[in-house]
């Protein structure tokens, strides 16, 4: 069973992403390496903890769910418009399985830039969570094993986003420092268009433990909380370089229109409303014409509100990206020019 899952994970994680972009243009703010062959690797982890807030008892008004952390390793090869990525399947978890259980993750994504717009598509699925400090209401747990392991709880997030950066020199490729990097300060305002489907689900009686459920409020008995939303998020982006060090990031905040649902005993009930949306990304590292090493973070906070009951979930990724640029040989450049002339 485990071998079969590992094989499926490997096959699903092996993906070929072809992204088309415009030819490189001369830019005094950016040093471009689009003609170089680039070999890189990245490692890190993705997590999606969530909370359910509601006055359950006089002492408990919020319960927290966390997945176990599964590190990933990805290898990549870049040349001009071509990108090949290979993901090694997650093997094992970082946190103690006796307190956090085991989590399985599937992450797929694609991104590319065109002129002033950066596009990003993501699919994130996690199965296996634990309820923190469940010994407060569950007498079968103790101070050593405080959490309640919930292997059937699953989380799904599918998103499509597009960032429009007002400054013509603000390019995502240079921001990440792999195919190019900045030579001086650039900052700009931006607008992010976002469309998302996300939620949590369990095959048990409910996400909230039965002993804490409010019989007067059916939402506390729900086995599913999910939402579909669209909106625009304005923000500010910044990048600067100090010798061989580059730091960058952006932050935005805005509302989205949200269709939200919950499920009780197989019956779905839905509402329409507004929800806040944050957009935060921070990155920085060391880069030279041949080498680069960057720390990249990505935070995506989502929420669903049903009057007093609030579901909040943070999708975040922390990764270390490093690589080597194979310089373009001058003889090869001249040979290409000669063939073109001929």
- pLDDT tens, residue by residue, 126-180: 999 999 999 999 999 999 999 999 999 999 999 999 999 999 888 887 887 888 8
Q: State the pLDDT at residue 81.
A: 72
Percent of the chain with pLDDT over 90: 63
In order of start, what are the domains of the chain with their CATH numbers?
2-341 (2.40.128)
Closest CA to 178 of 45, 281, 14, 289: 289
Residue 284, pLDDT score: 93
pLDDT band at 5 (very low <50, low <70, confident <90, very high): very low
CA triplet 103, 276, 111: central angle to 5 degrees?
60
Count CA atoms closer than 13 A to 153's CA, side-chain side.
Answer: 28
16-to-299, 324, 331 alpha-carbon distances in Å: 25, 20, 31
Q: Is 71 helix (H, G, I), strand (E, B) or coil?
A: coil
**pLDDT tens string 41-100:** 999 988 999 999 999 999 999 999 999 998 888 898 888 778 787 877 666 788 999 999
What does each C-alpha distance from 136 to 40, 133, 148, 318 come to in angstroms?
Answer: 46, 6, 11, 31
pTM for the predicted model, two decimal places: 0.82
Distance CA 231, CA 196 (A): 9
Q: What is the pLDDT of residues 12-37, one digit of tens each?
A: 433 333 333 333 345 668 888 878 89
Residue 288 CB contacts under 8 Å (≥ 6 apart), including other chains: 244
What pLDDT score does 89 carry?
65
């Amino acid at each position: 069973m485990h071998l079969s899952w590992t094989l499926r994970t490997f096959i699903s994680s092996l993906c070929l992403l072809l992204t088309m972009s415009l030819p490189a243009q001369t830019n005094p703010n950016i040093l471009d390496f689009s003609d170089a062959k680039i070999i890189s690797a990245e490692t890190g982890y993705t997590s999606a903890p969530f909370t359910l807030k509601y006055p359950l008892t006089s002492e408990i008004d919020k319960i927290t769910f966390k997945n176990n952390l599964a590190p990933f390793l990805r290898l990549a090869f870049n040349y001009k418009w071509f990108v090949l990525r290979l993901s090694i399947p997650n093997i094992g978890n970082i946190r103690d399985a006796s307190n956090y259980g085991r989590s399985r993750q599937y992450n797929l994504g694609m991104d590319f830039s065109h002129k002033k717009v950066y596009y990003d598509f993501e699919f994130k699925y996690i199965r296996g969570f634990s309820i923190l400090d469940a010994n407060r209401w569950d007498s079968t747990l103790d101070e050593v094993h405080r959490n309640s392991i919930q292997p059937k709880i699953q989380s799904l997030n599918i998103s499509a986003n597009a960032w429009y950066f007002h400054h013509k020199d603000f390019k995502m490729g240079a921001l990440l420092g792999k195919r190019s990097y900045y030579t001086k300060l650039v900052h700009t305002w931006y607008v992010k268009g976002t469309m998302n489907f996300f939620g949590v689900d369990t095959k048990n009686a409910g996400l909230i433990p039965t002993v804490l459920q409010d019989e007067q409020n059916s939402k506390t008995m729900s086995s599913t909380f999910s939402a579909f939303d669209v909106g625009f998020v304005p923000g500010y982006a910044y990048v600067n370089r100090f010798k061989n060090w580059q730091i960058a990031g952006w932050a935005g905040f805005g509302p989205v229109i949200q269709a939200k649902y919950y499920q009780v005993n197989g019956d779905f009930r839905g509402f329409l409303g507004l929800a806040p949306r944050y957009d935060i990304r921070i990155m920085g590292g060391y880069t030279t014409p041949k080498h680069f090493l960057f720390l990249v973070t990505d935070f995506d906070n989502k929420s669903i509100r049903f009057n007093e009951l609030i579901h909040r979930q943070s999708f975040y990724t922390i990764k270390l990206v490093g690589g080597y640029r194979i310089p373009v040989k001058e003889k090869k450049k001249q040979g290409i020019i000669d063939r073109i002339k001929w």
